[in-house]
Amino acid sequence: MTHLGRVTKKEEDGKLYAVDVKCEGQRIESVKISGEFFANPEGLIESMEESLRGIRLDRMFVMQAIAGALFYSKGTLVGIRASDLVEAIVEAGGKP
């Protein structure tokens, strides 16, 4: 069964971000991350989105994919925490 979900969040500092997730069963098919934050190096968000494709919708697996993309690109996020992205992705995917 295909599930399409979207979560929009506003951080305490007023920064807005959104996550769109498409899942087939418990597997992530695609993720789109957007918002008012910075990711360095260029292409980091796309690397994160790619690393999430095909993994099981589970906090641990999502965190590993995000952390791996940050580690291998030597990347940083400014204006959002990786843990916030993980929670938004899991929520958009339909997990409480």
Full-model pTM? 0.93
61-96 tens-digit pLDDT:
999 999 999 999 999 999 899 999 999 999 999 876
Q: What is the mean pLDDT of residues 44-49?
A: 96
Residue-number span of the structural domain to which 55 is assigned = 2-92
According to the model, what pLDDT value does residue 96 have? Answer: 60
- Print the SS3 string covering the chain: CEEEEEEEEECCCCCEEEEEEEEECCEEEEEEEEECCEEECCCHHHHHHHHHCCCECCHHHHHHHHHHHHHHHCCEEECCCHHHHHHHHHHHCCCC
CATH code: domain of residue 45: 3.30.390.50
**Domain tally, the chain:** 1
- How far CA 79 is from CA of 11, 15, 24, 48, 85, in Å, comes to 9, 7, 30, 16, 11
- Give the pLDDT confidence score for residue 15 in this predicted structure: 83
Q: At residue 43, what are phi and psi to the nearest 5 degrees? A: 95, -5
